[in-house]
Amino acid sequence: MSNDKNIFTAYDKSTYINKHTQPQPGMDENMSPLAVHTQVERWTREGEPYLEEYKGSSKLDGKAAIITGGDSGIGRTVAIFFAREGADVTISYLKEEEQDAQKTKSLVEETGRTALLVPGDLRQHSDRAELIKKHLDKFKYLDILVNNASKQFQCQDIANIEMEKVEDTFQTNIVQMIGLCKEAVPKMKCGSTIINTSSVGLYQGNPILVDYTATKGAIAAFTRSLASQLLSKGIRVNSVAPGPVYTPLQAASMPPEQMENMGVEEVPLYGRIAQPAELGESYVYLATSNLSTGTILHPNSGKYFIP
């Protein structure tokens, strides 16, 4: 357990983040230190934290899922957690992320489940259609679609914002999400589910990520609207809006000095940034058969309460 003032955690890696950066789209294998994807923090009755490997309980036995951005960050955790719950997974990723994708594939296969890797640029209609086709050719059914791929660029002044990057952000974060749902929904059966990754930014905004947070607000509205549209089909649509999480998206979009000890003593709950492993159970919950639709889960580490 860290003894730093105002930090209560068994995740020592969350309290000593090195000054580092990397080019877009960012790689898990280049994080310093590496992120935690499979160990969840638990607490004793005496209030002491400890780490425990996530163990599934057959919640998703026999299911098949597509996870976009499933090679790294939150997506890698979702792929592993789903596999430990009994699901096979198709992982969509950019070709530049092959190393991360292969690592995630091996971690899924360690559970005894199957991982299909499908590289591609989901901003392109042809790649979205190919993803759905390859998944169905391999697994026959599409039970769970996780729209997780995302991108962000910082800009301090709206007068200097680069419209090319704005369009790229919208294409990556929301337009391709709508396009993939267009391809996927006709193939999904009653009882299947869609989970969209949003952000705490949809509630708070962010002065240096104005276009990124705009896309996350759009994702919330899209989630609720599609959930309403698909009620009669019995397809549930929900979202997860995390607070700050230690992922390659951060390292690929922030200068090194912002990465150094990111979130330490700044995030209200436990005084540290979240690890990807801590988000996995939110996605497992929404992937199981239950009554939730049009819901936004908000595991935010208390970040919602401060600007």
What local confidence, expressed as pLDDT, does residue 269 receive? Answer: 83
Q: What are phi and psi of 129, to 5 degrees?
A: -65, -40
Which residues lie closer than 8 Å to 188 by C-beta, 6 or more apart?
Answer: 142, 143, 145, 194, 233, 235
What local confidence, expressed as pLDDT, does residue 251 receive? Answer: 85
More confident residue, 272 or 78: 78
pLDDT above 90 coverage of the chain, percent: 78
pLDDT above 70 coverage of the chain, percent: 95
Whole-number Å distance between alpha carbons of 236 and 192: 7
pLDDT digits (tens, 9 = 90+) for 42-61: 999 999 999 999 999 999 99
Facing residues of 67 across strands?
A: 91, 146
Render the chain in DSSP notation, one character per residue.
---STT---S-GGGT---S----TT--GGG-SS---SSEEEEE-TTS-EEEEE----STTTT-EEEEETTTSHHHHHHHHHHHHTT-EEEEEE-GGGHHHHHHHHHHHHTTT--EEEEE--TTSHHHHHHHHHHHHHHHS---EEEE--------S-GGG--HHHHHHHHIIIIIHHHHHHHHHGGGPPTT-EEEEE--THHHH--TT-HHHHHHHHHHHHHHHHHHHHTGGGT-EEEEE---SB-SHHHHTTS-HHHHTTTTTTTSTTTTSPBPGGGGHHHHHHHHSSSS--S-EE---TTGGG--
pLDDT digits (tens, 9 = 90+) for 217-243: 999 999 999 999 999 999 999 999 999
More confident residue, 243 or 77: 77
**Amino acid found at 94:** L
What local confidence, expressed as pLDDT, does residue 307 receive? Answer: 55
- Is 12-305 assigned to CATH 3.40.50.720? yes
Highest-scoring range by mean pLDDT, 166-175, 200-209, 262-271: 166-175
pLDDT band (50, 70, 90) for residue 158 = very high
CA-based nearest residue to 243, from 273, 214, 213, 282: 273
Whole-number Å distance between alpha carbons of 52 and 157: 43
11, 93, 212, 246: which is the annotated catalytic residue?
212
Whole-number Å distance between alpha carbons of 56 and 299: 20
Q: How high is the mean pLDDT of the chain?
A: 93
What local confidence, expressed as pLDDT, does residue 2 receive? Answer: 45
CA-based nearest residue to 7, from 264, 259, 299, 306: 264
β 39-43/49-53 pair status: antiparallel
**pTM summary value:** 0.95
Catalytic-residue membership of 212: yes
pLDDT digits (tens, 9 = 90+) for 285-298: 999 988 999 999 99
More confident residue, 256 or 83: 83
